[in-house]
Structure 1
Amino acid sequence: MASTHATGTLQSLYRVFVLPALSKPAPSRARLRQAPRAAPDRRCFSASPIHAVKSRAPQERAQKWDEEIRAQMLYLVDPVTGKREEEPRTRFDILSQMDRKTHRLIQLSPDEPGNRNFIPVCKVMGKKEQYEAEQKAKKASKERKAESVKVNSVKTLELNWAIDGNDLGHRLERVAEFLAEGRRVEIVLAAKKKGRGRRATQAECEGVLKAIYGTVDAVPGAKELKRLDGKVGGFATLVLQGRASGQGKESDASLRDTPPPHVVEPVTSTSIVL
């Protein structure tokens, strides 16, 4: 009886738990391959735009430095006497003996393409010394350009023959300032229109010219560049030239007796009505 009861219990359990599982169809291999895989956990980052880095263009140099020098044999300049040594040296020996942190080897003479026997002249120079020399050269170049602008620029002033003496004095002070700066000054003289004031007498016209020439004589190096062109008492022009850099005082009376030099076309022109 006990074995029969146990067998019935096992059969009941088999029908409840095992048989339903066996009755389900097994998944095919195709379904297993098509089963979706879990997507990997990816973090999304926002891509910021790449900004172009502003950088200076490489400076073009006329002289070669250090390894840029291709010649194997070099003439070295003595740093004390400034004279070239008689016997050439190898570039390797010069570079190996100098302090590369504070000094550099500079080629002074340009290359001679096609000349196999060419030996350039070089100099070992301190980087600080070279920097100061470059800054000094740049400053001198700016000063030359500024001086050239002054010489080639024209200041135009308009005066009338019947101008008051005080007004003439103030305006000629401006003329003297321009001439002292080395500028070119064009003075336009004209009579007042009819009905707009009295006309100047001959003596007054001569007085205006005398005052202008006196201003030129008072500025060292200034001169009359172009003689009076026009009619005294009417419309006339007069071109003056300021002193050049380093020029001493000259006699303007003697300059007026000589033919005026060729007038170069001005680069810029500024008109001032006085």
Structure 2
Amino acid sequence: MATIHASSSLQALYRVFVLPTLSKSPPLLRRAGRQAPPPPQPQHQRPFSASAPHAVKTRAPEERAHKWDEEIRARLLYFVDPETGKREEEPRTRYDVLNTLNRQTHRLVQLSPDQPGNRDFIPVCKVVSKKEQYETEQRAKKAVKEKKAESNKVNSVKTLELNWAIDGNDLGHRLERVAGFLGEGRRVEIVLAAKKQGRKATGPECEGVVKRILETVGAVPGARELKPLDGKMGGFATIVLQGRAPGQGKQSDAS
């Protein structure tokens, strides 16, 4: 009887103290008797970058002197007859003009600048051909480019070295180049010198070289001697020539 009573007491103590502890333990600990793995650590996330995005190359907005189509904000406008080129007496509505316009080939252009604050302002507009307008713009760009090239020629300097004792034929070829530069409107600097170990030119030969240079200048329309001979005849000297001014025409065939 004592053995049965002791067993019952042990079972009661087991139920009171041991079972509650086992029920609160993690399943893995109850099954395998191992330590529970550490809780997963939050992954390190890269902070949001506040740096500016890479610069994107964009085409610069087109600058125009006149407004086109829907850019025109005035409700009424004076319309220029495309055939006669005369302004109509009665204004039209922008809506009516745009509705009768072939947008594929033509556009409405405002000719008169806006007058901010003037509520009674009615701009003058006309319809232009896109093709004709493009060709006109291209001609204008070409003219500006040619004018700039002409200006660069005028401001550019060509340097040509000559020996006082130069052969007559060789001098002729060199002066042909000088005439070509002058005909383009360029400035030419001629450097005259004697070779250290070459034949020394006589006084008349030196004068003949200078004379032929001046004759070349005189044969090119608009060309002139900008700076006369500076230096020693037969030694080191320079002559600066200036070609024709822009708009005087090309070099004549007489040279």
Query: What does residue range 1-274 of structure 1 map to in structure 2 within 5 Å?
Result: 56-193=59-196, 196-248=197-249
SS of residue paired to 1:217: helix
SS of residue paired to 1:198: coil
- Note the residue ranges of structure 1 that are not aligned, 5 or more in a row: 1-30, 32-51, 251-274
Give per-residue Cα distances to partners, 1:63-92, cap 9 Å, x unaligned. Answer: 211111123333333323434444443322
SS of residue paired to 2:230: strand
SS of residue paired to 1:105: strand
Q: Calculate the TM-score normalised by the size of structure 2.
A: 0.67
Give per-residue Cα distances to partners, 1:7-57, cap 9 Å, x unaligned. Answer: xxxxxxxxxxxxxxxxxxxxxxxx9xxxxxxxxxxxxxxxxxxxx998644
2:230 is matched by which residue type in structure 1? D
Aligned CA distance change for structure 1 residues 208 and 77 (closer, same or farther; 3 Å): farther
Aligned CA distance change for structure 1 residues 236 and 125 (closer, same or farther; 3 Å): same
| 229-238 or 213-222, larger mean C-alpha shift | 229-238
Match of 2:44 in 1: none
Aligned CA distance change for structure 1 residues 178 and 95 (closer, same or farther; 3 Å): same
Q: Distance in 2 between matches of 1:116 and 1:202?
A: 84
Q: Is the 8 A contact 1:222 1:249 kept in 2?
A: no
Q: Distance in 1 between matches of 2:61 and 2:179?
A: 45
Displacement after TM superposition at 1:117 (Å): 4.3
- Note the residue ranges of structure 2 that are not aligned, 5 or more in a row: 1-26, 28-54
Q: Is the 8 A contact 2:183 2:250 kept in 1?
A: no
Aligned CA distance change for structure 1 residues 62 and 197 (closer, same or farther; 3 Å): same
> Larger relative CO (CA 8 A, sep 6+): 1 or 2?
1
| 99-108 or 109-118, larger mean C-alpha shift | 109-118
1:232 is matched by which residue type in structure 2? M
Q: Distance in 2 between matches of 1:145 and 1:189?
A: 32
Aligned CA distance change for structure 1 residues 192 and 111 (closer, same or farther; 3 Å): farther
| 197-206 or 122-131, larger mean C-alpha shift | 197-206
Q: Distance in 1 between matches of 2:250 and 2:134?
A: 37
Q: Calculate the TM-score normalised by the size of structure 1.
A: 0.63
Q: Distance in 1 between matches of 2:193 and 2:119?
A: 71
Q: Number of aligned residue pairs: give it.
A: 199
Displacement after TM superposition at 1:239 (Å): 1.7
SS of residue paired to 1:98: coil
Q: Distance in 1 between matches of 2:97 and 2:250?
A: 52
